[in-house]
A and B are shown apart, each in its own frame.
Chain A
Amino acid sequence: MTEFMQTYFPNVLNLQDEIIESIWETIYMTGWTALFAGILGILLGVTLVVTDTNGILAKPRLYDNLDRAINTFRSIPFIIMLALIGPITRLLVGTTIGPTAAIVPLVVGTVPFYSRQVQNALLEVDQGIIEAAEAMGSTPWEIIFRVYLKEGLPSIIRASSVTIINLIGLTAMAGAIGGGGLGNLAIARGYNRFQDDVTLVATLAILIIVFISQFIGNYFVKKTSH
């Protein structure tokens, strides 16, 4: 085994600690971003659905503005976004280097995508059910929490799982410009120093993280669908 590793993965053996650290950095960035972007995305997704013209709290002006803002942010390529919001990152975190700093652009890059996903998930909830809840005298809050979010849960989980996989992709990109993590490892070590075995291991590690998130997502979708 060691012999095999020494022959084909010489650099990987020397970098074991760094690889483990990179994996943790990727998980760290993904986890915190998922948390912040998740909260913001659900908030915005719900706002979009309820303020739409046919929504339970119709506010067409607010909807239009939000809609446009989300479209605009979604249109900015992430690699440019990283550079673009550098000053804000520095303001919030004090630096633009490292996994913690990467969380800021990652959240900004993920929220528009995720809020759209949440919006679509909630729009799948049958309008008739919303109407029935209104007819039963439910308040808008009750309709949001006890109907939209509960009925839409399987779709939201599915959307979250897609978003997290997307997000893992973004962490790799953020890593390349100094965010750390497996992206950084693959580029800074594997690519720039021609250590292809490191790139390969970084890829495998990312794939494993993706598969695990997908598996967890599917499990919960199944558990919440009736």
Chain B
Amino acid sequence: MIELKNIDVTFTDKKETIEAVKNVSLSIKAGDIYGIVGYSGAGKSTLVRTINLLQRPTKGDVIVGRHNLMDLPPKELRQARKKIGMIFQHFNLMRSRTVAGNIAYPLRGTGLSKQQINDKVDELLELVGLSDKKDTYPSQLSGGQKQRVAIARALANDPEVLLCDEATSALDPKTTLSILELLKELNQKLGLTIAIITHEMQVVKEICNKVAVMENGEVVEEGDLVSIFTDAQNPLTKEFISTATQIDQALDKLAKHPTLLNLTSEDVLATIAYVGESTSSPLIASLYAQFAVTTNILYGNVEILQETPIGNLIVVLSGEERQRDKAIAYLEAHDVTVSLLQHNQTVFAFNKKQVG
């Protein structure tokens, strides 16, 4: 559906040149909800703006549907843009028009009669759940409502693609969720292909099926959501994921208050990670049954991503050292990743493999 090939975007100032996007190639398939994450300045916003040529790449090809947008003359480019909806962080609604006026804006000059435009506006308002706000001005709407109007406006010309440029970044967590749910619904109901730019891994986790992570204008890692969450290679990706699972914050807290752990020489601190089928509780129960190792769960986070459960636990394993080793081997044999953790408590010294 969307194919970006070797995209370079270079901004040239009098004094310096900035390479905002460097040789990025991405392929977004029809029906995908594709997340592009990165910190501010990573170039993700510039990248998404190349998809409708709001930002013309210095080099590269932008193929949306059947067209290479780079080859289109202005008139045809405008036609192509009508089929690429876009929503923004600050909604960008026109203050001088009512909700209905904003949604009708892109419909003028499309050959629809006044009545048809009115019907279409009603239909779109119903789709985003704002039928009662038809004649309200944007200044009277909340952020979430404004974004709903922006979504309705973006969908007015029945696009196949929706670009979201930090669309939820100005919204509170609850409103963010409701907007994401709406996007997911549109994806399923209309078969809309969605590209989402965000700095929040939570957003990606919530609705994306594919992710690309950007840093310094480059895509450093890319893949489907579950494999990125379970098998990230790049340190930046790992950092983003840990912000979403909050396992790092939990470890930080434990590290600051080691006495909370009350560890003895029989205990080790470890993180346990598992994906999908390997559900934790029977395994943990069998650790005691088979090896007399008790497992104390200090922190747990279980996500369901694309219908696959992903668990991250922080546990204390207690038992004789030999038995503990057997238990760990048993877990690993069941596709559970176990990492032993160092801690500041000076009860005993590690002599087994230590993972920081």
Contacts and interface: CB of A to CB of B under 8 A. Distances in A.
Contacts of B153: 136
Contacts of B138: 226
B78 A138 contact: yes
Contacts of B52: 135
A161 to B, nearest CB: 18
Nearest to A136: B106
Interface string B46-80: 00000010100000000000000000000001111
Interface stretch (B22-30, B89-97, B189-197): B89-97
Interface stretch (A1-9, A104-112, A143-151, A214-222): A143-151
Interface stretch (A11-19, A93-101, A126-134, A178-186): A126-134
Interface centre among B95, B109, B150, B163 (most CB of A within 10 A): B95
B137 interface: yes
B350 interface: no
A226 B99 CA distance: 12
Contact of A136 (B90, B93, B105, B137): B105
**Secondary structure type dominating chain A contacts:** helix
B212 to A, nearest CB: 21
A139 B81 CA distance: 11
A196 to B, nearest CB: 49
Contacts of B291: none
A132 to B, nearest CB: 4
A150 B96 contact: yes
Contact of B92 (A132, A146, A153, A224): A132
Interface centre among A136, A153, A224 (most CB of B within 10 A): A136
Contacts of B290: none
Contacts of B139: 226
A137 B78 contact: yes
Interface string B13-54: 000000000000000000000000000000000000000101
A139 B79 CA distance: 10
B270 interface: no
A132 B82 contact: no
Contact of B54 (A135, A147, A224): A135
A151 B96 contact: yes
A147 B109 CA distance: 15
Contacts of A226: 95-96, 137-139
A128 B94 contact: no
Nearest to B109: A142
B106 A137 contact: yes
Given A136-B86, A226-B137, 19 more contacts: A128-B88, A128-B92, A131-B88, A131-B92, A134-B81, A135-B54, A135-B81, A136-B81, A136-B106, A137-B77, A137-B82, A138-B106, A139-B78, A142-B109, A146-B108, A147-B94, A150-B96, A151-B94, A151-B95
